[in-house]
Structure 1
Amino acid sequence: MRPTTAWHAMAQRPVSFLTSAWPWRSLAYLVGGVLFGAVVVAGFGLALASGLVLLMALVGVVVLAGLVLASTSVASMERRRLRLVDLDPVPDPHRRPEGTGFRAWAAHRLTERATWRELAFTLISATALWWLDLLVLGFSFGLPGVLFEATDGQTWPWTVFGALVLLASPYTVTSWAGARAAMTRTFLAPRDQELGEELREVRASQARLLDSLDAERVRIERDLHDGAQQHLVSLGMTLGMLRLDTPDGSPQSELLSQAEQQLATAHQELRALIRGLNPPVLADHGLIAAIEDYAGRFPIPVTIDLSLPGRLPRKLEAPLYYLINEAMTNIAKHSGATSARVHGRYHADVLILDISDDGHGGLDPEAGTGVTGLADRVSALRGRMRVSSPVGGPTLLHVEVPCRFA
């Protein structure tokens, strides 16, 4: 596989590495670092001195602000130079300002976190990195030259040492170039920033998925209500008309009774399914009423203590209903509890839910007891969840979900 960084190139066989362009690319990177660093030190030193001198006249504030903005140009140049020893492109972390003109651009850049990271990198580069570049180059090439020049019959071991240093210079130069590149990437393309972009996309994708699932749930509920349920009603009417022509006590009458009973059961289960997909009480009266309605049909007593300052948004209300619904279903299936409690409060833009039971406890989140599905639901809502379930009980499910009321 083709190496993409100087360090990856050093992991190749010595012949492949030494005959590749990587040692020369690393040398160019360090030489460029020395030259560019010297220019930056001269320019920044002059600007800093001028800014401090003129600070009393307030003109220095403009000079110092210009110094901060100039660091973005230094960082931009470093990102381009980085391609010598790191082939993965470094994205520009700056966003386009909303306004137009230099003033809008400058005001936007001064408020960006990336600008101040680049300023910190510029100061580190000016005070340390380019000096280290010079030191590595001096050790790798300057020291052998001095030793060769000073060689005589009594100092031949130093000649051998200088030759060894020179032979090792491709590795010395490339190893420092790789380390410098890694440090540069850390400052100019921090991993948390890349993850931030990915995380925003994941969250946006989760939001779209939740919206599409909610819309699909409503569509299925409507299709079942207007389709399958109406067909069952029609079938019931047909069976009723057929019974009018069937003598009482006949074998056909018994079969009709069985069919009517099975039809009634199917109709009841379908209505329960429709009510679970899109509970009318949830759409009409909100989360608290829907949870109380569900608790009234629960096989064990459930105490509901929910207090909210208002009606939740639909995109949050439905997922929270199914979250609580699934948690209570897990209690009924796995806990062996005789009672349960749902407690919820809203505080500082966070909805806090505690769902507890008096069951046997010992809940293992990795044992496939439904906790994984709950964690996925909470994660999709950008919340967090903790489970406390000692052996012998009780079990407490603590959920915190970001929430804002309009």
Structure 2
Amino acid sequence: MPSYALLRRRRSGSRATADHATADRTADHTAGAGPRRRLRGLAYLALGLPVGLLALVVLGALTAPVLMACARPADISSWADAARRAALLTFGILLTVGVAPLAAAPLAALERHRLRVLASAPTEPTAPEPRPHAVRFRARYTTARAWREVAAGYLVAVAGPGLVLLAATWAVLCPIWLAAPLVVARSSGGPVALGIGHARSVPDALPYCAAGLAAGVLGIVVLITLVRAQAALSRTLVEPRPDPLATRLVEVTRSRSRLADGFAAERRRIERDLHDGAQQQLLGLTLQLGLARMDLPADSAAGQAVARAHDQAKTLMADLRELIRGIHPQVLTDRGLGAALYELAEFCPLPVAADIDLPHRPPQAVETAAYFAAAEALANALRHSAADNIRLTARVRHDRLTVDVEDDGRGGARLADGTGLTGLADRVAVVDGTIRVSSPPGGPTLVRVTIPCPPHPQEDDR
């Protein structure tokens, strides 16, 4: 018991030491975070001057006709003056609406860079999805984000230089007012300019000293509050907002992809279990029945029964191999899509001309989707087309895998007919692929499956 108590005391002591060390590190980090935060705030405030002046020059030039048209309305003395003002106002509005969304994009990018100065661990923005120039140009006028960036540009144009001017005024006036009594006492007796007003004597300078003391304390609070308010408003305007519908669509797509991957993994597991378990046992049973059949007279009742069982076992073996091939062919895992498509064409009851040109192995998900799409298309051709010949083609061009199944049957196939093409389209859509069917009445029928395929082989767990 004493040794156990001593051990507990030692453990408690080590735990307390660790807690004190953690608390010391946290305190050091917290103590260092304050100066860094203030330095980042000063950097954000200082950068507001060049960014704000740039925004003021660009957006001010666009808005100048509107301001000129609205200035001094009392000077309008005739209908001609009113018409000129109206024309100038219309031109200014059109100029602002037409050019401001385009000019606000780089200004918003600069403001995003300035906002990242405030973050202790800034993260780089995600690269935008590449879109055609026409789509991006149209988005500058039709999306709420573009007009929020315009509002952010005007905010930076006003608040950036304004806050710097306010901080500079505060930094100059506060020391002057605090030292006002001393400056007046050392003067020759004449009025002393104190920035705002004059003081002739020390009693006249005391209110300025009190005002400088109050401004020194309150000015910091007001300035920090204004800088934080501008940063929060700018962040709300320039940072992209997640689209709930797009987010939901991404979640659904990822969920569907996970389900498809899980389904494919389960198919491979079932195929492996059947291949390594039931098929091997059935193969051993078939061999034993074959040996027993050779040992028994062929015309005996036992020999005939064993022969029938042997034939049934061989038929069952062939059916099981076909079932395993339908679940997930081993050749697809071992040798890839090209060999699997050639085997598919070889086992097809109709003549199939296979032309496969795959410079590298596609990703596993693409291989699986393409193989079963080709298998389903061949099965549809066998069941519904009454074709005599089928052509199977697979190519990789421009980072896209294209699998064509063409037959010379009667045609008339459609995706909406429920002949397996709908399920084929769903399977291909999981890997962002598409399916197109060309099947005029009288044929021929062409089923084309197109799936994005990376240019280099990926390392997969095959």
Provide the TM-score with structure 2 as the length reference: 0.50
Q: Report matched runs for 1:18-37 at 5 Å.
A: none
Shift of the 247–316 alpha-carbon distance from structure 1 to 2, 3 Å rule, reads same
The aligned counterpart of 1:52 is 57
SS at the partner of 2:448?
A: strand
SS at the partner of 1:366?
A: helix
The aligned counterpart of 1:219 is 269
Residue 261 of structure 2 aligns with an amino acid whose one-letter code is D
Match of 2:301 among 251, 255, 261: 251
The aligned counterpart of 2:282 is 232
Cα deviation 1:240-271 (Å, max 9, x = unaligned): 46547755422232222111111110011112
Match of 1:399 among 422, 432, 449: 449
308-317 or 321-330, which moves further after superposition? 308-317
Match of 1:342 among 392, 400, 420: 392
Cα deviation 1:120-152 (Å, max 9, x = unaligned): 04758999xxxxxxxxxxxxxxxxxxxxxxxxx
Residue 259 of structure 2 aligns with an amino acid whose one-letter code is L
Residues 1:355 and 2:405 aligned together: yes
Cα deviation 1:66-99 (Å, max 9, x = unaligned): 9748999xxxxxxxxxxxxxxxxxxxxxxxx9x8
Residue 120 of structure 1 aligns with an amino acid whose one-letter code is W
Shift of the 109–349 alpha-carbon distance from structure 1 to 2, 3 Å rule, reads closer
- Looking at structure 1, the residues matched to 378 and 444 of structure 2 have their Cα atoms a distance apart, in angstroms, of 14
The aligned counterpart of 1:120 is 147
Match of 1:314 among 356, 359, 364: 364
Structure 1 position 359, deviation (Å) = 0.5
Match of 2:430 among 359, 373, 380: 380
- Looking at structure 1, the residues matched to 346 and 334 of structure 2 have their Cα atoms a distance apart, in angstroms, of 17
Q: Report matched runs for 1:146-165 at 5 Å.
A: none
Match of 1:272 among 322, 326, 346: 322
The 8 Å contact of residues 232 and 267 in structure 1, kept in 2 or not, is answered as: yes
SS at the partner of 2:394?
A: strand
Structure 1 position 195, deviation (Å) = 2.9
| Unmatched runs of 5 consecutive residues or more in structure 1 | 1-46, 57-63, 73-96, 128-187
- Looking at structure 2, the residues matched to 189 and 293 of structure 1 have their Cα atoms a distance apart, in angstroms, of 51
The aligned counterpart of 2:382 is 332
Structure 1 position 354, deviation (Å) = 2.2
The 8 Å contact of residues 71 and 118 in structure 1, kept in 2 or not, is answered as: no
Structure 1 position 274, deviation (Å) = 2.1
Structure 1 position 109, deviation (Å) = 9.4
The 8 Å contact of residues 370 and 449 in structure 2, kept in 1 or not, is answered as: no
- Looking at structure 1, the residues matched to 415 and 308 of structure 2 have their Cα atoms a distance apart, in angstroms, of 44
Residue 412 of structure 2 aligns with an amino acid whose one-letter code is G
276-285 or 215-224, which moves further after superposition? 276-285
Structure 1 position 211, deviation (Å) = 2.0
- Looking at structure 2, the residues matched to 307 and 219 of structure 1 have their Cα atoms a distance apart, in angstroms, of 29
The 8 Å contact of residues 289 and 310 in structure 2, kept in 1 or not, is answered as: yes
Higher relative contact order (CA 8 A, sep 6+): 1
The aligned counterpart of 1:206 is 256
Structure 1 position 343, deviation (Å) = 2.2
The aligned counterpart of 2:84 is none
Residue 282 of structure 1 aligns with an amino acid whose one-letter code is L
**Percentage identity across aligned positions?**
41
Structure 1 position 302, deviation (Å) = 1.3
SS at the partner of 2:455?
A: coil
347-356 or 293-302, which moves further after superposition? 347-356
Shift of the 373–100 alpha-carbon distance from structure 1 to 2, 3 Å rule, reads farther
- How many aligned positions are there? 268
- Looking at structure 1, the residues matched to 127 and 346 of structure 2 have their Cα atoms a distance apart, in angstroms, of 58
The 8 Å contact of residues 384 and 400 in structure 1, kept in 2 or not, is answered as: yes
The 8 Å contact of residues 71 and 122 in structure 1, kept in 2 or not, is answered as: no
Shift of the 371–126 alpha-carbon distance from structure 1 to 2, 3 Å rule, reads same
- Looking at structure 2, the residues matched to 233 and 312 of structure 1 have their Cα atoms a distance apart, in angstroms, of 34
The 8 Å contact of residues 416 and 422 in structure 2, kept in 1 or not, is answered as: yes
Provide the TM-score with structure 1 as the length reference: 0.56
Shift of the 323–119 alpha-carbon distance from structure 1 to 2, 3 Å rule, reads closer
The 8 Å contact of residues 55 and 107 in structure 2, kept in 1 or not, is answered as: no
Shift of the 293–100 alpha-carbon distance from structure 1 to 2, 3 Å rule, reads farther
The 8 Å contact of residues 319 and 377 in structure 1, kept in 2 or not, is answered as: yes
Match of 1:305 among 355, 360, 364: 355
Which is greater in Rg? 2
- Looking at structure 2, the residues matched to 342 and 100 of structure 1 have their Cα atoms a distance apart, in angstroms, of 58
- Looking at structure 2, the residues matched to 345 and 312 of structure 1 have their Cα atoms a distance apart, in angstroms, of 11
The 8 Å contact of residues 48 and 67 in structure 1, kept in 2 or not, is answered as: no
Structure 1 position 393, deviation (Å) = 0.6
- Looking at structure 2, the residues matched to 322 and 272 of structure 1 have their Cα atoms a distance apart, in angstroms, of 14
Residue 395 of structure 1 aligns with an amino acid whose one-letter code is T
- Looking at structure 2, the residues matched to 109 and 319 of structure 1 have their Cα atoms a distance apart, in angstroms, of 30
- Looking at structure 1, the residues matched to 412 and 325 of structure 2 have their Cα atoms a distance apart, in angstroms, of 32
Residues 1:195 and 2:242 aligned together: no
Shift of the 120–262 alpha-carbon distance from structure 1 to 2, 3 Å rule, reads same
Give the root-mean-square deviation of aligned CA atoms.
4.1
Residue 258 of structure 1 aligns with an amino acid whose one-letter code is R
- Looking at structure 1, the residues matched to 58 and 294 of structure 2 have their Cα atoms a distance apart, in angstroms, of 107
